[in-house]
Amino acid sequence: METDATYRGTVYPWQCDHVGHMNIMWYVGKFDEANWNLFARLGLTPSYLRTSGRGMAAVQQNITYKRELLAGDIVEVRSRLLEVRDKSIRFVHEMRNAETSEIAATCEITGVHMDRQARKSTPFARAIRDAAMRHLEPAMA
């Protein structure tokens, strides 16, 4: 997959809790922004989703918190596609402190391709599935 980050941003003081580190709701928000950048790389762009009547829904999300992020820290998320199925994808985001390169959190998500009108899962279009397959992370030996 491209080496470009799927999210870059800053931790603002108002995103920190009473302990002084970024509150968990903001981790989720930053991972969500990374989702849409990753999806666009696969062809699941806003215009595709609008014109096709399709959507993406998260059905499982697991976050692991490893290091604190504090007000003023620069955050970078990089994403890898782990699995492509007929109607779903599984991917992982890795959030780092951009200054120290320390991993702050990881988030593994399973997303399902949806027909928004029928409110049911539906297979990916061939072009999207092909793009996803090109970005698939090689299996670890």
| In the predicted structure, residue 1 carries a pLDDT above the cut 90 | no
Distance CA 19, CA 1 (A): 36
Kindly report the average pLDDT of the chain as a whole number. 94
**135 vs 43, higher pLDDT:** 43
What is the predicted pLDDT for the residue at 11? 98
7-135, which class in CATH? alpha beta
Distance CA 13, CA 15 (A): 5
| In the predicted structure, residue 17 carries a pLDDT above the cut 80 | yes
Domain ranges of the chain: 7-135
| In the predicted structure, residue 12 carries a pLDDT above the cut 80 | yes
Per-residue pLDDT tens over the stretch 72-107: 999 999 999 999 999 999 999 999 999 999 999 999
Amino acid at 52: S
What is the predicted pLDDT for the residue at 139? 57
